[in-house]
A and B are shown apart, each in its own frame.
Chain A
Amino acid sequence: MDSANFHILMQLLLSGVIAGSVYGLIALGFVVIYKSTTVVNFAQGEIMMLGAYFCYYLVVTHKIPFLPAFVLTLVFSALLGMLVEMVILRPMIGEPVFSVIMITVGLATLLRSIVGLIWGHDTLPFPSPFGDATFEISGMVVSPTEAATVVSAVILFLALFAFFRYTKLGLATRATAFDQRWAFLMGISVRKIFSLAWAIASVVAAVGGVFLGLMGGLEPNMSFIGLKVFPAVVLGGLESIVGAVVGGLLVGISESLAGGYLSGWFGSGVKELSAFVVLLIVLMFRPYGLFGKKEIIRV
């Protein structure tokens, strides 16, 4: 491979990693909710979008500096997640899985219409607080916003990992995820854990949404990324935090490579499809996903 080709490959991998960190964040939200409440939340992309619009509203409309606006966005998203859990999902406890899923699909549509009503359907540019000056890492061009995206994703991922591994509440969440009935018997308030899971998932998604907005502007259709992230979640094994991140990165990279190398032959749609192709191949060899686990079978 000559150096020009190598350079293109590296640049494609890098953009894959950048997109992949956003996918990873949203996938993380999916996994946190699924793990603790066994609800597949189809409104994850919309919650992400609402977070992004809220931050935009504070920064662009109200001229609030980015950092406090960002912190307010996280608080808003946490409250939004808890509200959704309390008002929409709690009454559904004990209902069939299909109904619960349809409720989240309904919520997604509702949130998308609300955003469309308030902010319209045009793309709104969201000026980045990190400036426009790009820099180079061994010949590859990176913008400060892109670097901030990856760094934030890494920090969030490590924080969540530590939370689940080392804190009492994190342990209680994992116990609840394994079996609610036994969690009750430990004195764990399962309602509190559900609420917490939705708060965490929404905050993580909002961070992804804000950075996505800073990189590409805002539009209601950005929420469809929630569906794109689905292969990432399944790839990772649905229940694994590490899996969500690796799945997100894999989807980001495969999209980027497919877009760079294959769209000349197959058209631009190949980029959108590539995630599903990778998913199919992985599931053929590992039906539980990359990090999914078979249930322990007792003898």
Chain B
Amino acid sequence: MLEVNSIEIVYCDVLKVLKGISFQVPSGAVVALLGSNGAGKSTVLKAVSNTLELEDGEMEDGAISFDGRRIDRLGPERIVRLGVVHVPEGRGIFDDLTVLENLKVGAYTRSDRAKIRADLEAVLDYFPPLRQRLPFQAGYLSGGEQQMLAIGRALMAHCKLLMLDEPSLGLAPLITGDIFRIITRINREHGASILLVEQNAHLALSVASYGYIMENGKIVLDGPSDKLLENEDVKEFYLGITDMGAKKSYRHVKHYKRRKRWLS
């Protein structure tokens, strides 16, 4: 189980982008982290994988633990070894390595050869289009195939928690549907917990059991997916179902009104 406890993140010593974020991903669960562009969703994932340092970001306060163990001081490579794997926004494919090499490099932290080979077969069963493309340069794959490769590569690391940053970005709805179905299967068959970051709230809440909504570096709402899907404000601001037509920012809605709706 991943526990994130009131973390505060600052970029370049001055720009505070996360102002006390707390959430949990229970073992085996699919949890969605939603919010519009710039809310700080990617920053949350970078904090968990401890790769903020590369962008001059720093965690000023709070704690992150996985299976009861503090991980926010561990190097990124140690975190991967614990089974926490981050698939970044834009997929992070190694363009000039072949598809097979990309999958192999995913298993970098492991040395159980027989199991690695079995996992490779499992990945190719989840994502059949990758099989014929194994010997080709990954940079030439289509966007959907690259997303498959990125998820497949994370599975090669034997992940216990898979963190996906906007897997639907730039993909046609049909392909997105395929990928989300496989994400659900991976969760069920592989037993991996999934932290799903999305702007597309409807899509994410359809596979997640619980959701958190972020705005401006804070979590403004959370709850089980079905409740969130019914919530008037969520409908209005994140699902694009609105009576007024005009798109307003969530924070303009009076706080008490929001709470009241959510509690009822």
Contacts and interface: CB of A to CB of B under 8 A. Distances in A.
Interface of A: 94, 168, 171-172, 174-175, 178-182, 184-189, 293, 295-296, 298
Interface string B105-148: 11011000000000000000000000000000101100100000
Contact of A168 (B93, B108, B137, B139): B108
Contacts of A293: 96
A185 B93 CA distance: 11
B141 to A, nearest CB: 9
Interface of B: 49, 51, 54, 56, 75-77, 79-81, 85-88, 92-97, 101, 104-106, 108-109, 137, 139-140, 143, 153, 157
Given A178-B94, A178-B97, A181-B88, A187 B109 contact: yes
Contact of A185 (B51, B95, B97, B143): B51
Given A172-B105, A296-B140, A182 B94 contact: yes
Contacts of A180: 54
Contact of A186 (B54, B56, B106, B139): B106
A296 B101 contact: no
Contacts of B101: 171, 174
A186 B108 contact: yes
A182 B108 contact: no
9 contacts: A171-B104, A171-B105, A171-B108, A172-B108, A184-B49, A184-B77, A186-B80, A186-B108, A187-B76
A204 to B, nearest CB: 22
A187 B81 contact: yes
Given A185-B80, A187-B109, A178 B96 contact: yes
A182 B105 CA distance: 10
Given A178-B95, A296-B140, A184 B81 contact: no
The 6 closest A-B pairs by CB, nearest first: A187-B80, A296-B139, A187-B109, A182-B92, A184-B76, A178-B94
Most chain B beta carbons < 10 A, residue from A178, A181, A185: A185
A238 B108 CA distance: 27
A187 B84 CA distance: 10
Contact of A175 (B79, B81, B87, B94): B94
A189 B77 contact: yes
Contacts of A189: 75, 77
A287 to B, nearest CB: 18
Contacts of A298: 139, 143
Given A171-B101, A175-B97, A178-B95, A185 B56 contact: no
A185 B76 contact: yes
Contacts of B75: 189
Contacts of A184: 49, 51, 54, 76-77
Nearest to A187: B80
Nearest to B170: A298
Nearest to A174: B97
A264 to B, nearest CB: 46
Nearest to B156: A186
Contacts of B81: 187
Given A181-B54, A296-B137, A186 B88 contact: no
Contacts of B93: 182
A223 B75 CA distance: 38
Contacts of A185: 49, 51, 76, 80, 85-88, 92
A194 to B, nearest CB: 13
Nearest to B138: A296
A34 to B, nearest CB: 15
A184 B77 CA distance: 6
A181 B109 contact: no
B77 A187 contact: yes
B51 A181 contact: yes
Nearest to B154: A185
A295 B140 CA distance: 11
A187 B156 CA distance: 12
